[in-house]
Structure 1
Amino acid sequence: MQNQINQVYNSGDSCAIYTGGSINIEENSYSLERYDELLLSQRSSDDGDNIEGSELKSSNTMKQYTEQRDLECIEQTNLALTKGSNYWMTIFNTLNTLTGFGILSVPYATSQGGWLSLIFLIGIALICFYTGILVQRCMDSDAQIKTYPDIGLKAFGRWGKALIAFLLYMELFLLTTELLISLGDNMEKLLSKNNFNIGGLHISSKKIYILLGANIILPTTWLRSLKLLSYLSFTGVLGFSVVIISVLWASIESVGFHEHGEIVNWRGFGTCIGLYTFCYGGHTILPTIYTDMKNKRLFPYALVVSFLFATVCYSFMATIGYLAYGDNLKSQVTLSLPIGNISSKVAILTSVMIPLVKYGLMVTPIAEAIEVQFQMLHIWSILTVRTLIVLGTVIVALSVPFFGSVVALSGSFFTVGLSLILPCVCYLKIFTNSHKRCFELVLIITIIVLGVIVAIVGTYTSVKKIINAF
């Protein structure tokens, strides 16, 4: 009997529903009545009484049952509301995935594609927002879906989960590697480019800064709560805004805005689109953020705020960077700033902070996947896994220090696949039998085709540049 009660109580229709500050206990009346019926049957069976077809003997007994039921419902509701991230924490976490060092590379992307490419920046933002909504719909189709690979499992079985997991963790691994490369570049710009002699080994200053930065970052990877990481996310978003203001200030002080640039540069368009797409590559983290959110009905609004804020900032940064430095822009705009100005130092120092606050959020899905796969519960095994992941990214960052090309490759292949193509393909497969409007179906197919073209052209261009750099 107790199993029956638990089954009804947890059948998916919660006793109390949170509705933006109020608790509605009048919904799901069928589940509550059924709960009362089974509870009364259990109590009566324990006393050896048969109450089937009879009325309650005592109003006090009925009152006792009702009070117990309501207390249990409210207790479970309060427990659900105290766990997870609230609306603003979700926005900060989402912004932190969208507004990383993409802000440093977006002026360079514009210089590669020309002024006309800014239209594609806005277009990619709209597409990625829409595919973010598709990711949410896929997750809502099954309560068992908690991660991005789970969507692949729902759509295509084990091979779908394996494919998405491979792409997801490779993208996150490259992303965290790029964070370390960015940190090393900016520290070298800010401090010195002198080589160090340690035990007879000549090590460049950039590699030393990468090693030091990794040691500072390491403790942030040990945080397992997204609620705690949201406070770091707030710092990252704040730093993102400071970088924009500092670059604007430094450009006004030093060079002004006299460059005209090109209307369109078709030769660099593949790199440009790859970098733009990389700026909106937060879909790998979206399922984790969505799962952790308290009131999931507000998730689309959180996406609107996050994508709108990110797009305005990206467009503004691309404009001032290209007007100030034109075709002389380096892969990170901070590397083009004159180091003598205070504003330049503020911008570079703030850009150093971005990897420090963003790395932990990016590495969490990789670590959690390993911990779940091998059922790691002991704290020392968890810390060891996360430390080894950091060590792996350090090794790659020291070996392939080409920031712009690595970012473009990640954006063209992994981000396009995970943020444009796969959300559409999985959505079509999961909702095969549901009625879809003709316009939406055409839109989804168009996004898939464009994604494939961008992936092929961008990947070819990026790999070619990396090979030439060696």
Structure 2
Amino acid sequence: MYEVKSVKSDRESVQVDLLAERPEQGSSFLAYANVVCVVAGTGTLGLPYALKLGGWIGVGILLLSLLMSIYTAILLMKCLYYNGKYRLSSYQEVGRHAFGRAGLIAVWFFHTSIVIGAPVMYLILSGTEMKGLVANDAISTKAWIWICAAIVAIPFVAMKTLKEVAVMSVFGALATVVLVIVAVRGSIIDLHNPAYASVVHDNVILAHLPTTVASISICFGGNVVYMHVEEAMRYPRSWNRVVAAALATCSILYIATAIPGYLTYGSEAQSPILANLPNDTATKIGTVVIIIHVILAAPILLTSFALEFERLLDITVTRRGKVMERVYRTISRLILVGICGGIACTVPYFGDFLSLLGALGNCTLIFVLPILCYFKLIGWRHLKWYELLWCAIIVIIGVISAIIGSIDAIKALKTDFQNDNSN
């Protein structure tokens, strides 16, 4: 990353420190909690199912994904400062500077699929779990999805930037820890349950490896908010340490959930794992916790998208005035929540939607595009041969998983719809 650069302005040499302290921004701990809250979200609940798809090799894939994600997160942040004169504002800007209009459109498409798709996934999960939690047949799953969407809309509309939303991430991160504890407890209790005595465990299922990678990749899908998280950091030089610590923390939570879950439920593992856990008070607490987490995490992703959308439409106090800026921002954000709620009601299949989201958006945004943009903006000639080999491995894994994983997920969703129509 860049330190101090000399920029000519009005015939004077001005020293610009792009990574200088930003006293008005939040702490590194808030940035850490923000990443953990967004990254270690509902993807945790799908990990035993991901191991069911690929076998025990999924644990190795998880650790490999951790290393690849940290590396590409660091490269992506370097791209923001590539010219040494100013910081790019977004992932889309990185794509535009690297590959022109084509790069802008590509990043925008995959970026939008995540920042809209992940909240949709959250609403599917929360609505489904609320339906099971509250014994009231008069309220349908779709109605619960809309209720959860309305709750998510409150902080999303009320809080303007990620600096304000970041405080919520601390509680979201704690909610994830509680959820993992509940999942591990339930898996241990069911370890000797006769109902799961005959489950099968595979070491590796080659045919499903791309889908496994795609499902696991969503567990590291923070690239869509990294730029805004770093922008809200008081000490931007701490970014490398913050993202490495946050993703490592997430991986510890993932392993703690994945191994006991797959060991107990094996070929019977479901996504989310809550469907397998004993139907007792602790599981109900876990259900409540994941609903709380969804309500806290969804506004962070939606705010990331909204900031770009509002910048595009020039919805600013300077341009619109204080009152009208609030009006335009409120209307646009309510429409966005409405779109997410509508999609969630149309495609209410959590596990397969999770796989499609991971394959289509995360594999591309996390593994492929950061490296391609880095090569284009900064170059590859200064990298060692083993770094180039590492980059090639990441890109190949990302491309194969994105293509095959998307095809498999679409087929699974097609089957879901057909089964619904036949019932």
Q: TM-score, normalised by structure 2?
A: 0.88
Match of 1:122 among 43, 53, 63: 63
How many angstroms apart in 2 are the aligned matches of 1:252 and 1:264? 23
Q: Which residue of 2 aligns with 1:363?
A: 302
How many angstroms apart in 2 are the aligned matches of 1:461 and 1:93? 32
Give 1:451 deviation, angstroms: 1.3
1:369 alignment partner AA: E
Give 1:287 deviation, angstroms: 1.0
Match of 1:149 among 89, 92, 108: 92
How many angstroms apart in 2 are the aligned matches of 1:315 and 1:249? 14
Match of 1:272 among 204, 212, 217: 212
SS at match of 1:363: helix
Q: Which residue of 2 aligns with 1:444?
A: 391
Q: Which residue of 1 aligns with 2:5?
A: none
Q: Which residue of 1 aligns with 2:374?
A: 427
How many angstroms apart in 2 are the aligned matches of 1:111 and 1:324? 11
Alignment of 1:314-463 (within 5 A): 314-339=254-279, 341-377=280-316, 378-432=325-379, 435-463=382-410
How many angstroms apart in 1 are the aligned matches of 2:329 and 2:215? 33
Alignment of 1:126-275 (within 5 A): 126-142=67-83, 143-192=86-135, 195-196=137-138, 205-222=140-157, 223-256=159-192, 261-275=201-215
1:98 alignment partner AA: V
2:300 alignment partner AA: L
Is residue 108 from structure 1 mapped to residue 49 from structure 2 by the alignment? yes
Q: TM-score, normalised by structure 1?
A: 0.80
SS at match of 1:13: strand
* 8 Å CA contact retained: 1:224, 1:364: yes
2:75 alignment partner AA: L
Q: Identity of aligned pairs, percent?
A: 24
SS at match of 2:185: helix
1:444 alignment partner AA: C
How many angstroms apart in 2 are the aligned matches of 1:94 and 1:260? 35
How many angstroms apart in 1 are the aligned matches of 2:239 and 2:56? 33
2:260 alignment partner AA: I
SS at match of 1:294: coil
Give 1:391 deviation, angstroms: 0.1
Give 1:365 deviation, angstroms: 2.1
Q: Output one character per residue of 1:243-298: Cα deviation in whole Å (capped at 9) or x when no partner.
A: 11112223334554866622223343333221101111111111111122111111
SS at match of 2:181: helix
How many angstroms apart in 2 are the aligned matches of 1:187 and 1:284? 28
Give 1:312 deviation, angstroms: 1.1
Give 1:11 deviation, angstroms: 3.1
Match of 1:465 among 381, 398, 412: 412
SS at match of 1:401: coil
How many angstroms apart in 1 are the aligned matches of 2:369 and 2:334? 30
1:156 alignment partner AA: F
* 8 Å CA contact retained: 2:221, 2:366: yes
Higher RCO (CA < 8 A, seq sep 6+)? 2
SS at match of 1:376: coil
* 8 Å CA contact retained: 1:186, 1:335: no
How many angstroms apart in 1 are the aligned matches of 2:19 and 2:288? 48
Equivalent residues, number: 396
How many angstroms apart in 2 are the aligned matches of 1:246 and 1:351? 11
Aligned-residue Cα RMSD (Å) equals: 2.3
How many angstroms apart in 2 are the aligned matches of 1:277 and 1:14? 34
How many angstroms apart in 2 are the aligned matches of 1:296 and 1:415? 24
1:92 alignment partner AA: A
Q: Output one character per residue of 1:127-176: Cα deviation in whole Å (capped at 9) or x when no partner.
A: 11100011011112132412101111221122211221121012211111
Is residue 296 from structure 1 mapped to residue 240 from structure 2 by the alignment? no
* 8 Å CA contact retained: 1:412, 1:458: yes
How many angstroms apart in 2 are the aligned matches of 1:360 and 1:137? 26
Give 1:452 deviation, angstroms: 1.1
Q: Which residue of 1 aligns with 2:40?
A: 99
Deviates more, 1:204-213 or 1:265-274: 265-274
Deviates more, 1:309-318 or 1:6-15: 6-15
How many angstroms apart in 1 are the aligned matches of 2:18 and 2:330? 38
How many angstroms apart in 2 are the aligned matches of 1:13 and 1:396? 45
Going from structure 1 to structure 2, the CA distance change for 1:270 and 1:438 (only over 3 Å counts) comes to: closer
1:466 alignment partner AA: L
SS at match of 1:284: helix
How many angstroms apart in 2 are the aligned matches of 1:12 and 1:390? 43
How many angstroms apart in 2 are the aligned matches of 1:125 and 1:15? 28
SS at match of 2:223: coil
SS at match of 2:224: coil
Going from structure 1 to structure 2, the CA distance change for 1:442 and 1:374 (only over 3 Å counts) comes to: same
1:298 alignment partner AA: S
Q: Which residue of 2 aligns with 1:13?
A: 16
Q: Which residue of 1 aligns with 2:322?
A: none
Give 1:446 deviation, angstroms: 2.3
Give 1:434 deviation, angstroms: 5.5
Is residue 309 from structure 1 mapped to residue 249 from structure 2 by the alignment? yes
SS at match of 2:14: coil
